Amino acid sequence: SICFLNGTFQPLADARISPLDRGFLFGDGGYEVIPVYSRRPFRLAQHLERLAHTLEAIRLPNPHAPSEWSGIINEIIARNPWADQSVYLQVSRGCGDGRNHAFPVPIRPTVFLMSDELVTPPAEQLARGVAAISAADFRWLRCDLKSTALLANCLLRQGAIDSGCVETVLFRDGFLTEGAASNIVIVKDGTMLAPPKSHLMLPGITYDVVLELAAHHGLPYQVREILEDEVRTADEVWMTSSTKEVLAITTLDGLAVGSGIPGPVARRMYDWYQEFKN
């Protein structure tokens, strides 16, 4: 596939960066994953706004204006073979001369994009839902930033894989935060409940779409803090992300969620999402 590295489009296999890159040494950078349907990036403006928020918060000057980002993204889409893609974009704080926690002067960011075929959940997972485990959310207190420092998320996701599951649902101080790489919403008595955006979770683009679709279609919903016990006794639990879209979690820690199959509200939201994304 074709990637973009610091101004140059090239085969991914040929791309080279320095081991002194702070993305490598420190996980010092921000990123986005942008879904592409029929060669059109989905919710691009929102992804670029979130990137700008991340970069500003980590004091990394945004190397491109939105129109430039959009040009690079459209070109990488055009240069790759798939109609549906997931574009990965990352900006790191580049290299210093040696390893030094303090920022280099000047900062020369490394800009890297690659793309792959977008693989959404297979029919079998859509039909049956997926299994998840839960874990204590031991990440830092800026989970609102899409930082490339994902060690905690990797450990938490691997915990799910090791248990034969797809995702880990995170609780902090007795409240739902999100998943290891997704947002989590639940349904109780026909009302969709979503945790409020805060420094404890990533403001998901898919999460926003799901709330907009609920409002648009008249599905009752509330955005409020959700107790761990409410998740365990919910009628439905879903994960949302740019690559999973809307996916029902039907088993949590080995126990059935609701009736143990994707619920009616999940099915409706999935259909609304499919209709909306095209």
Q: Which residues bind ligand PDD (CB under 6 A)?
A: 33, 153, 178, 181-183, 202, 204-207, 240-243
Helices 44-57, 205-217: crossing angle, 10 deg rounding: 130
Among the listed residues 146, 188, 197, 277, the single catalytic one is: 146
Shortest CB 189 distance to ligand PDD, Å: 25
Residues in CB range of 100: below 8 A, 6 or more apart: none
Q: How many CB atoms lie within 10 A of CB 84?
A: 16
CB 1 within 8 A of CB 108: no
When the beta carbons of 30 and 94 are compared against ligand PDD, the nearer one is 30
Bond prior to 11 in cis (omega within 30° of 0): no
242 vs 251 by CB, closer to ligand PDD: 242
Residue 146 among the catalytic residues: yes
Q: Which residues pair with 143 in a beta bridge?
A: none
- In the complex, least distance from residue 150 CB atom to ligand PDD, rounded to whole angstroms: 7
Give min distance, CB of 89 to ligand PDD, in A.
Answer: 11
Sign of CA dihedral 257, 262, 267, 269: positive
Distance of closest approach, residue 204 Cβ to ligand PDD, in angstroms: 3
Q: For residues 131 and 77, what is the distance between their CA atoms, to the nearest angstrom? A: 33
Residue closer to ligand PDD (CB basis): 55 or 95: 55
**Residue with smaller CB distance to ligand PDD, 116 or 235:** 116
CB of 200 to ligand PDD, least distance (A): 11
CA atoms within 13 A on the CB side of 201: 29
CA-based nearest residue to 48, from 201, 273, 205, 207: 205
Q: Give the residue among 147, 153, 187 at the shortest CA–CA distance from 167.
A: 153
Name the residue nearer to ligand PDD (CB basis): 44 or 95.
44
Active site residues: 146
